[in-house]
Structure formats: C-alpha cells, structure tokens
Amino acid sequence: MTKELTYLNYLKQERLPTQWCPGCGNGIILKLSCMAMEKMNFQQKGTVMVSGIGCSGRSAGFFDLDSVHTVHGRALPVAEGIKLANEKLNVMVISGDGDLFGIGGNHLLHASRRNTDITVICISNAIYGMTGGQCSPTTEITSKTLTTPRGNVDSPINVQALITAHNCFYGRSTTFHFNHALKCIFEALQHKGFSFVEIKSQCITNDGRRRGFKNSYEMLMSYKETYKINNNTNKLEHNEIGIIK
C-alpha cells in the first residue's frame, strides 16, 4: 500500500536541521518545494531533483528523492538529459542565481530556447554567499559586496526578459510572500514545457549585514515593503512579483 504523502515525506528528516546560517531563506524554499510537490501528488520514485553548486545547491541532499548534485553551472543540462532519457519523470532544478545565471548562464539560454519540460526554482539572493559575498549577476546597482566595496555599477541580469522571450513560464516571488511563492512553484510544476521561478531570498551573513541590515527579519520586511503582487500583467516591473505564462 502506498503511504499517504505529506510535504515532510519528501525530506530526509534525519538530516535536519540544515547546516545553513540562521536566517537564511534556503530552508523556506526547501519547504515550499516540498509543499508544491505534495499538492501535485508527485511520487518519490518518479521525481528527480537536480542542483548546482553553492549554498542553495546543498538543497538536493535534503530531498528523499533521486537527486543529482552537479558541478558548478551544469544543473540545467543534467536535468535536460534526465528528462530526455525518461520523459515520464518529474524533473526539477533548485539552485542559486550565481549557478544558474553566472556560471550556467549559457545553459539557461538554450534550455529555455528548447522549452524542455523541466521546472527550475532559482534561489535569488543577489550574492555569492558560499564563497564570501562576491557580486553576482543579480546584485543590484550601488549594492556593496566583497568585490564591489564602493557599490555595484553593473546592471543586474533581466532574467524575466530572457525566459519570456522564448514564451516560457516565468514566476517571481520572495521568501516573505510565502503563499504567493507556493502558488508560483505549484503553477510552474503544472506547466508543460520550461518553467522558471525566481524567488528573492535573504542572505544575512554575507550580504545583508554588509548592506546595513541588522538581521534576517529586517531583510524580509524589506521584501514586504518593496515587492507588490501584480497578477494581471505580461511584464513585471522591478518592484513587482507575479506570474507570466
């Protein structure tokens, strides 16, 4: 008899608590991913989780699923290969902005162009958190990082434009907007074709404190104040969260 699935069944609970820093948003997104799989009634033996390198890349080790922890920037081609080898599998990727947009940016271009039927959850904390806090592809202009002590002068990547240019599913949310983020992941998993969910997440240790935040709570409140939900648009502005199909 198949046991009733709850979101906890998708986790290797003996590995909890995680090794992430107190206040990190990765744990929130780990739970959101499991809750979305529960809503989809994904079977553990039919679901594969793929991750890259970085703090968020460690997520794959907490799922009680077949999982692959790839080398830096290569999560997407590995996930595409798995899906092409067995199209019946539910294939998901969970990784960070540095892994997906920086080192793996070329693969993101072509995965979206090919419209491969996989779902990508990007933990977008605007920093290379694991290696000390260097500027990443999503670091905001003027933001101070280890490699931009006077403030970043480069524009952050417009991932929305990249994904929607190929008519793929794009969702954006934050770790503060818990129910909205769950809706984004759930609808992405329902989508047939390439789907991408970008979740703005806090890294207090190697980003927030450098920018003047006292704790993770202040970073979450900044998401509350900055981002507004827009459910009726085909283009999200800089301070909006929503879904574009």
- Confidence (pLDDT) at 140: 93
Sheet holding 228-229, edge to edge: 66-69, 47-51, 90-96, 119-124, 195-200, 169-174, 240-244, 228-229
Burial pattern 151-177, b for ≥16 Cβ within 10 A else e, equals ebeeebbebbebbbebebbbbbbbbbb
- Confidence (pLDDT) at 103: 92
Tell how strand 169-174 and strand 240-244 pair up. antiparallel
Ranges in the chain, pLDDT < 70: 1-5
Structure-token pair, residue 179: 């129910």
| Rounded Cα distance, 234 and 63, in Å | 33
- Confidence (pLDDT) at 46: 96
- Confidence (pLDDT) at 1: 42
The Cβ of residue 217 has, within 10 Å, a number of other Cβ atoms equal to: 12
| Rounded Cα distance, 240 and 169, in Å | 16
| Rounded Cα distance, 94 and 142, in Å | 28
Q: What predicted TM-score, i.e. pTM, was given to this entire model? A: 0.95
- Confidence (pLDDT) at 233: 87
- Confidence (pLDDT) at 231: 87
Contact residues for 178 (Cβ-Cβ < 8 A; gap 6+): 28, 32
Ordered by where they begin, the domains of the chain are 16-244 (3.40.50.970)
